[in-house]
Amino acid sequence: MNSLSSAPVTWSDPARHSQFQAWLERLAGPQGLKPETLRLAHADASTRRYLRLDRVDGGSRIVMDAPPQFGSMRPFVEVAGLMRGCGLHVPAVHDFDEAQGLLLLDDLGERPYLQTLLQAEPAEADRLMRAAIAALLQWQLRGDASRLPVYDEAFIRRELQIFVDWCVVREFGRQWAATQQGWWEHSCAALARSMLAQPQVAMHRDYMVRNLMVCPPEEGVPGILDFQDAVRGPIAYDMASLLRDAFISWDEERELDWAIRYWEQARKAGLPVGEDFGEFWRALEWSGLQRHLKILGLFCRLKHRDGKPAYAEDLPRMFAYAIKVSTRYIELSPLTRLLEDLQGHLVQTGFSLR
């Protein structure tokens, strides 16, 4: 999400504006809100937007404006309760109008992990990343995965198809021949097997620093956002999301250090990560590869369908991640050939991601 904390609020749909005004008027007194302070707080890649307004007694609240025709936000409310029950710092839901897609939430502040890490000294970055790892371990240990949708093979393949439809076909204008289709099918099957073979736990599914907030220690670090798509899925996936982020990259030495710390703590806590770190690292890389292919497709879809071209600026980072992993494993050599066909220069020029 991008901070827009001083921007005014505009409405393209007068009916939606009227609905919102009636909802806010009903809540203003009981919730101690100051409607005249309403302003944009965040915008993200979805159809949702986030508004901020002050409270009479100090502090502020966040409004999630999520038009219901794009999907119910009930999963957000349910997962918020699940995560709060695990002792994690997520926004409390103070009001939820499901029919209109309006939620009143705690405000976790204006210090996103992403912007903080981009400016942080190494020691501060390490502290924040260790806190994010600790929160992830807490979620995996205490989260009731049986209450979440299953991240099964069909789910994995639907995400991979986004890469084909929007990156391969729409962005690059390619139509794969039968041989290339065979390479792709081989790669999809290999990735799905790897992910389904992992122990399945509660999974945030977008556990990247853009969805974490730096909050006061007494409130809990980090604050966690955008968890409504949580599923029951492979244990290495959220660590892959954290270490190989769509918007910030780390030297592999630091990735390995944080991954080893996670693995050691997970083993001590009784999480099923296995006795061989090498096997866990492979699972992490393969989970991350599937995610990066999906994100390549999502960023191209945002550019072409949703009129948000800025996300495409990070396509080179995603290609570099994907090629870096696919070239390491002989089973993924067909995928490397497909990626080379799209962005082969990344193979020749190396993998500097900063």
Using alpha carbons, select from 259, 146, 263 the residue that is nearest to residue 201.
146
- Report which DSSP code applies to 176: -
Residue 71: per-residue pLDDT:
85
Encode the chain (354 residues) as per-residue pLDDT tens digits: 444 456 788 888 899 999 999 999 999 999 999 999 999 987 665 678 999 999 999 999 999 999 988 888 999 999 999 999 999 999 999 999 999 999 999 999 999 999 999 999 999 999 999 999 999 999 999 999 999 999 999 999 999 999 999 999 999 999 999 999 999 999 999 999 999 999 999 999 999 999 999 998 888 789 999 999 999 999 999 999 999 998 999 999 999 999 999 999 999 999 999 999 999 999 999 999 999 999 999 999 999 999 999 999 999 999 999 999 999 999 999 999 999 999 754 444 333 333
Residue 44: per-residue pLDDT:
60
Residue with tokens 């990626």: 339
- What is the rounded CA–CA span in Å between residue 64 and residue 42? 10
Amino acid at position 314, single letter: D
Helix pair 277-304, 252-269: axis angle to 10 deg: 120
Residue 307, number of CB atoms within 10 A of its CB: 7
- What is the rounded CA–CA span in Å between residue 226 and residue 211? 6
Using alpha carbons, select from 85, 83, 47 the residue that is nearest to residue 67.
47
In sequence order, the 6+-apart residues with CB closer than 8 A to the CB of 133 are 239, 242, 258, 261, 262, 265
Residue 262: both structure tokens together: 């996670």
Residue 12: per-residue pLDDT:
86
Residue 344: per-residue pLDDT:
54
- What is the rounded CA–CA span in Å between residue 351 and residue 323? 9
Exposure string of 129-157, with b = 16+ CB inside 10 Å and e = fewer, is bebbbebbbbbbeebebeebeebbeebbe
Rounded to two decimals, the pTM is 0.92
Go through the domains of the chain in sequence order and give each one's CATH number. 2-106 (3.30.200.20), 113-349 (3.90.1200.10)
Q: DSSP 3-state assignment of 35? A: helix
- What is the rounded CA–CA span in Å between residue 117 and residue 274? 30
Residue with tokens 């939606």: 16
Residue 4: per-residue pLDDT:
47
Note if the bond before 30 is cis, omega within 30 degrees. Answer: no
- Report which DSSP code applies to 323: H
* pLDDT tens figures, 295-339: 999 999 999 999 999 999 999 999 999 999 999 999 999 999 999
- What is the rounded CA–CA span in Å between residue 112 and residue 210? 7
